[in-house]
A and B are shown apart, each in its own frame.
Chain A
Amino acid sequence: MKSRSITAWGVYSVWRRHAKVYQRTWLVNCLPPISEPIIYLVAFGYGLTPLIGNVTYGGQTVSYLEFIAPAMISIGVLFQSFFEGAYGTFIRLNFQKTWQALLTAPLTFSEVFLGDWLWAATKGMIAGSLTGLVAVVWGLYPALSLLFSLPIMFLGSLLFGAMGLLTAGSVRQVDQVNVPVFLVIVPMFTLCGTYFPRTTLPPGLKQVADTLPLSALTDLMRWHLALPQYWWLGSLWMITLTGIFAGLAVRRIYPQLMR
């Protein structure tokens, strides 16, 4: 009887391999997602809040720190899942040849791909959750809201993880990863309503920023402040982009391994 091309065991076995590597240096790995938002919150909280004061978002007035806290979570998700997908996968694919080794075991390409992708998403979830916990402790994000935001974070982690895998499959040298970083990630990081409401942008730039996936994630992460009017459209847009990026990533990586 022919065996299935994707099994939960196969995906788990690949994911587990990455998790075990992470586990060895978990303290070092957990430091950036905790320290980074604290640094940003301290810097912006004490540095910018006196200058900016409160922000009007979704018809209500909130402190600047309350405004940027959900964005810090989104940025944590973006950076960790994208960079794991891009650099981590590129290294495993081209330097360590981990994918090639895994494909000599009874694992299929789909399982190895999904294992890597889920691992990138897991790192996004770890970063988002730890940042969220810092925000909760700081009193900037309600604990229950954070719990209900986990599915949103997971969707964002899958989306940016897929972007990372697409990058890993498309570049030929590790330095080339900088191209999408500076052309896509940094603009998203700055323009997607993270540090200021997108309503302050010129109309043309606002339209561009509105379509970037981090905007949808950040808006959804602020659901406890104000649910975006077209929240379902944002979710659908993220799901669509996740499918497109994952499909393109498969198309880029598959021919490199299965000739």
Chain B
Amino acid sequence: MAEALVAYDLWKQYGDRTVVQGVSFTLNPGEVVGLLGPNGAGKTTTVGMLYGAVLPTRGFVKLGAVQVQSDGRQARAQMGIVTQEDNLDPDFSVLENLLHFAHHYRIRGNAARQRAGELLAQVSLENYAAHQIDELSGGLKRRLVLARALINRPQVVFLDEPTTGLDPDARQEFWKLVTNLKQHGCGVLLTTHYMDEAQRLCDRLLLLQQGQVIDQGTPAELIERTVGQEVAEVEGISEATLQAIANQAHSWCRSFGSGYLLALPATNHQSVWEQLTAAQPDRLTRRRANLEDVFLRLTGSSLA
């Protein structure tokens, strides 16, 4: 299967500051790839390079046969872009936002109206067609931004932290839309710092820290390879005691919230658990490992 998008060795420097360092990846049709990293990791800069708003210091992006940096217009004609900021047009109603945006793609008249109607139905905004933008909630605005990004039936869609600031229900609604895009063969690149979102939506993840990809794989692979199956959250034990338990079990621990996180090894997890219990901590819980733990292991810091 031919890749929908290829990003090769992307670098971005602002003066002496390097914000993206050699990021390369591919995006296939019907695949959701997640760029995961804390604030300032270089996610938005990378997305900017993907659609041509940020000029790479080195490297290139290709959408099919089109090179984004040299022919941004043609590339963007096949892309859908949801930026972090809600840049909907406050001078127009919901429907007019779609119709005017369609015009930039030379979609006009009945074709534009038909497409706008389809998209409003797809994102469940049919009843809001005549509403002004300032009458919409944050969740409805994000849905409209997504609808606008789909006006041209894009091959790939970039979603830059699309659910930041949304309530849980609105996020769930948005996730359904992304899943729907994937099912229709659209390649989706998603940046987020929400672990649950990445784990739920993404087929592959690239973990970004200080502009570099520090690891990549499917969510399950990353968790299994980096953390294992289970972790213990511990409070009320000294770091030295915990470190000793970890060393003895060939495991690792990290500072986590008000306590510590310790990976429970697959082979002798019961023995480690018993040692932790014997140390009489204030709090001890056992749970399945997740992507947050992966990030904690790799970077020593939480993603939130």
Q: Which residues of chain A (50-105) have a CB below 8 Å from chain B?
A: 96-98, 100-105
Q: Are A104's CB and B81's CB within 8 A?
A: yes
Which B residues between 54 and 81 are near A, CB-CB below 8 angstroms?
54-55, 70-74, 76-77, 81
- Among the 9-residue stretches A14-22, A165-173, A187-195, the one with 4 or more Cβ atoms under 8 Å from chain B is A14-22
What 10 A-B pairs are tightest by C-beta distance, nearest first?
A97-B87, A105-B104, A101-B87, A104-B81, A106-B77, A21-B91, A106-B76, A106-B73, A3-B73, A2-B71
A258 interface residue per 8 A CB criterion: yes
- Check B87 against A106 for contact (C-beta < 8 Å): no
- Residue among B55, B73, B77, B96 with max Cβ neighbours from chain A (10 Å): B73
Residues on A with C-beta less than 8 A from B88 are 101
Q: Which residues on B sit within 8 Å (CB–CB) of A98?
A: 87, 89
Q: Is the CB of A105 within 8 A of B89?
A: no
Q: Which residues of A contact B (CB under 8 A)?
A: 2-3, 5, 9-10, 13, 16-17, 20-21, 24, 96-98, 100-108, 257-259
Do the beta carbons of B103 and A104 come within 8 Å of each other?
A: no
B53–A13 CB distance below 8 A: no
Residues of A within 8 A of B51 (CB): 104
The 8 Å CB contact of B53, one of A3, A24, A97, A257, is: A257
**B 77-107 contacts with A by CB, 8 A:** 77, 81, 83, 85, 87-92, 96, 100-101, 103-106
CA distance A194 to B186 in the complex (A): 61
- A97 neighbours in B (Cβ, 8 Å): 85, 87
Number of A-B pairs whose CB atoms are under 8 Å? Answer: 73
Residue of A nearest to B149 (CB): A104
How far, in angstroms, from A197 to B161 measured CA to CA in the complex? 60
B29 within 8 A of A: no
Q: Which residues in A have their C-beta under 8 angstroms from that of B92?
A: 20-21
How many residues from B make CB contacts under 8 Å with A? 31
Known: A96-B87, A258-B53, A259-B55. A108 touches B72 (CB 8 A): yes
CA distance A160 to B100 in the complex (A): 28
A–B complex contacts, Cβ < 8 Å, 11 sampled: A3-B71, A13-B104, A16-B103, A20-B96, A96-B90, A100-B87, A101-B89, A101-B101, A104-B53, A104-B83, A259-B53
> Quick one: closest B residue to A12, CB to CB?
B103
Q: How long is the Cα–Cα vector from A180 to B176 in the complex, in angstroms? A: 50
**Most chain B CB inside 10 Å of its own CB: which residue of A3, A20, A104, A258:** A104
B48 at the interface (CB under 8 A from A): yes
How many whole Å from A207's CB to the nearest CB in chain B? Answer: 43
Tell which of A96, A101, A107, A259 touches B73, judged by Cβ atoms closer than 8 Å: A107
A97–B71 alpha-carbon span in the complex (Å): 23
Contacts of A2 in B (CB 8 A): 70-71, 74
Residue pair A259, B85 in contact (C-beta under 8 Å): no
When chains A and B are docked, how far (Å) is the Cα of A247 from the Cα of B117?
A: 41
Once the chains are docked, how many angstroms separate the CA of A101 from the CA of B103? 13
User: Chain B nearest CB: distance from A23 CB in Å?
Assistant: 11
Contact present for B100 and A106 (CB under 8 Å)? no
A20 pairs with B100, CB closer than 8 A: yes
Residue of B nearest to A105 (CB): B104
Known contacts A5-B73, A107-B104; 7 additional CB pairs below 8 A are A2-B71, A20-B96, A24-B91, A101-B83, A101-B87, A259-B14, A259-B48
Q: Are B71 and A258 in contact (CB under 8 A)?
A: no
Report the minimum CB–CB distance from B304 to chain A (whole Å).
27
How many angstroms from the CA of A84 to the CA of B87 in the assembled complex?
20
Minimum distance in angstroms from B173 CB to a CB of chain A: 22
